[in-house]
Copies of this chain bind each other. A is one copy, B any other.
Amino acid sequence: MVARTLPATGGRLAIIAGAGALPHHVAEAARRQGEDPFIIALSHEADASWAGFDHTVLAIGDFAGISRTFEKEGIDRVVLSGGVRRRPEWRDIRPTLRTLATVPSVLRTLMSGGDDAVLRMAMDLIEASGARVIGAQEVVPNLLADTGPLGAHVPTDDDRRDIEAGIAAANALGALDVGQGAVAVGGRVIALEGAEGTDAMLARVAALKVEGRVSTRRRGVLVKLCKPHQDQRADLPSIGPSTVAGAEAAGLAGIAVEAGRALVLERSQLVENADKSGLFILGVERGG
């Protein structure tokens, strides 16, 4: 565990919740750590029902509303969690007086920045409101993948070759701020993750195998690494039970994620499913 646990600060924790199951897991795990998280669910993005939590729904560009919420709820720490599928358009931006001067550069970043640049900008704007942005792993340290196998299965020598090939590709992509994931089968990288996300990439691999364009005799591995320059407070790459299901449907032998820099959601369920399906789950170092 590389993450530190924060001392209680008196202030309240906010979770700005995007798409996917991750924010809900983070919120529940935070509660188990004694926090009383306030949820800011992004409109058009958040999927989960937040009925059990204090929450509000705000548009992603509504910095004025977010800033007001921070003040009203006494927020001093913020976790950004979940995907943001739609980038805010310029007309969605509602700046505060304090952030008004930054609008031109905000727009520039929204138009053309990579995901990392957009996230960094969002974090800067939030911190300008006086709250500190922290990583989900700082609230819930046991979300991080450890080094080595997480379940009962371990990679074979062939799988290790796929892991090496996937790491090389994910590194090359990550350096360009493009994606975090790659699938290698039989030592060849056959799929690279762009804006479509991991689940869609795994579905593509399953289709390539059905069409016979990728050998079904070789299983293959999904590799997910943190981008080299990624801010650790932004969403780290994550896997969950649905990733295991996708990997199984694609006939893969297992999943390798970066130890200490990737989140493992619903770990006990994930490991149970992986063990049952014969898939390995491995925490690896970026160097391979």
Contact = CB atoms under 8 A, between A and B. Distances in A.
Interface in A165-207: 168-169, 172-173, 175-179, 183, 186-196, 200, 204, 207
A89 B217 contact: yes
Contacts of A11: none
Contacts of A194: 183, 189-192, 204
Nearest to A190: B195
The copy count of this chain in the complex is: 2
Contacts of A178: 169, 188-189, 192
Interface string A85-115: 1110100000000000000000000011111
A218 interface: yes
A178 to B, nearest CB: 5
A177 B188 CA distance: 8
A112 B212 contact: no
A89 to B, nearest CB: 7
A52 B189 CA distance: 38
- The prevalent SS among residues of A at the interface is loop
Q: How large is the interface on A (under 10, 10 to 19, 20 to 34, 35 or more residues)?
A: 35 or more
A208 interface: yes
A97 B124 CA distance: 69
A285 B110 CA distance: 29
Given A172-B173, A195-B214, A188 B85 contact: no
A32 interface: no
Interface in A211-256: 211-215, 217-218
A194 B175 CA distance: 18
Contact of A204 (B175, B196, B211, B215): B196
Given A112-B161, A112-B187, 17 more contacts: A85-B211, A87-B215, A89-B215, A111-B186, A111-B187, A111-B218, A169-B176, A172-B172, A172-B176, A178-B188, A178-B189, A189-B194, A192-B192, A192-B194, A194-B204, A195-B214, A196-B207
14 contacts: A112-B187, A112-B188, A168-B176, A169-B173, A172-B173, A172-B175, A179-B192, A183-B194, A189-B194, A190-B194, A190-B195, A191-B195, A192-B193, A196-B207
